[in-house]
Amino acid sequence: MTTTEPKPGELVLDRPSVQPGDKLAASGKGCEPGRMVTLTSDGAEVGSAYTDSSGAFTAPVQFARIEAGRHTVVAECGVRLTGSVDQVVTRSSGGQTGTLVVLVFFVLAGITVIRFR
């Protein structure tokens, strides 16, 4: 995680990439004080917060859809701030293959036992 302080007019995400279930936070500066900030990505709301007296905010970001690739996060607060994050989706098939082999073994063993009775 990075702890980079945003500059005025900037949106900073605390990590460059996330996997499903990872926590992500957005920090921004340059908004009007006491204003509601709405964070969106691909048209869907992914977070919200209120700015402090200096116009800065920090908000958790939660994606509703899991889609691999680069996603732009936009903060609307009277001004428009943007940042990007890569969503990484990994696939594991090792456990399923082992289970399938065991299942096929028992089915074939059962057929063999029934056949030779």
Q: What is the pLDDT of residues 82-110, one digit of tens each?
A: 999 998 987 655 555 566 666 666 666 66
Q: What is the pTM of this model?
A: 0.70
Domains of the chain: 10-87 (2.60.40.10)
**Tokens standing for 103?**
């299942």
- State mean pLDDT over 3-29: 88
Share the mean pLDDT of the chain: 84
Per the listing, tokens 């903060």 go with 75
Q: Tokens 């028992």 identify what position?
A: 106
**DSSP letter assigned to residue 89:** -
Contact 1, 15 (CB under 8 A): yes
- Closest to 44 (Cα-Cα) out of 13, 73, 14, 83: 73
